[in-house]
Amino acid sequence: MAARVVNLGEPISSIPQYLATMNNWMPLIDHDMVLVNIFAVNDLGELSRDELQDDGYLNRILGDLFVDVQTGRKRLDHVPHIFPLHVLDYLHTLYYYFRDGAFVHRDVPWPYTLAHGPVSPEAFVRVVANDLAICVPQTRESHRPALDRVAQLARVLSDLKARGKRVLITISPAEVQINPALFHEAAARQNADPASYDLDLPNTMIRETIQAVDPGLEIFDLTPLLRAAMARGNNPYYPSDAHWNVDGNRIVGEALADRIGRP
């Protein structure tokens, strides 16, 4: 089955930005299907920690880079803001563009790309701790405001389904949910009993919230797929990075192609 895929999800984060992007672009693009990925622990965590505001602007990180993250080519529409008078930023960038060439060349260690790189060990420990905190059953009610935003997204998607669009919602895990060694290390750093965590809780809260809005919305939880890869000795995540590596993207991409190819 031939398909044209339009990616509206990079580089935004969590439910309010998903909704803002959809509201902006979807009326402008003729489409038969909508695919939305919810990164359960990250999306719930950012909202529960009040890290995202509805009036915050999109593309805060990658959108401000003046190079294309895949090729390293300089982007003259995203020049660095250095001088009080912005026209000087353009002149400065043009000078170095022509002096040094159109590309920024970096030595990126395998398996990373220009788009992804390892964070410091201390930063990764904080990321994993934040992820694990969403898996504590006693904190379930504290995520109610974040889940209200999930319900808001589900209502938008339910309306699209009612208008004849196919809707597929994927739920993605964090590495700590599928990597037993990382999980036990993180629990030990918290001096916590591993049995006190429910690693499926974030996904369960997301799924139950969506189904309460519309039981007919199609949900594809990627967690078993990625856990199976991990059990085979193939970690689908970059080391010290929250994103899927090449193999992880391939595994998910093949599963999505199979799923979407079904009527």
pLDDT at 11: 57
Q: Which residues contact 238 (CB under 8 A, 6 or more apart)?
A: 111, 112, 116, 118, 244, 245
pLDDT at 76: 60
Task: Report pLDDT digits (tens) over 164-202.
Answer: 999 999 999 999 999 999 999 999 999 999 999 999 999
pLDDT at 151: 98
| Residue ranges in the chain modelled with pLDDT below 50 | 60-62
If 0-12 CB within 10 Å is exposed, 13-18 middle and 19+ buried, where does residue 176 land?
A: buried
Q: Which of 200, 206, 221, 205 is nearest to 153 (CA)?
A: 206
Phi, psi of 125 (to 5 degrees): -60, -40
Q: Identity (one letter) of the amino acid at 78?
A: H
pLDDT at 261: 85
Q: Which of 221, 192, 193 is nearest to 205 (CA)?
A: 221
pLDDT at 197: 98
217, two tokens: 């919305």
Please report the domains of the chain, with CATH numbers, ordered by start residue.
14-56+121-261 (3.40.50)
pLDDT at 126: 94
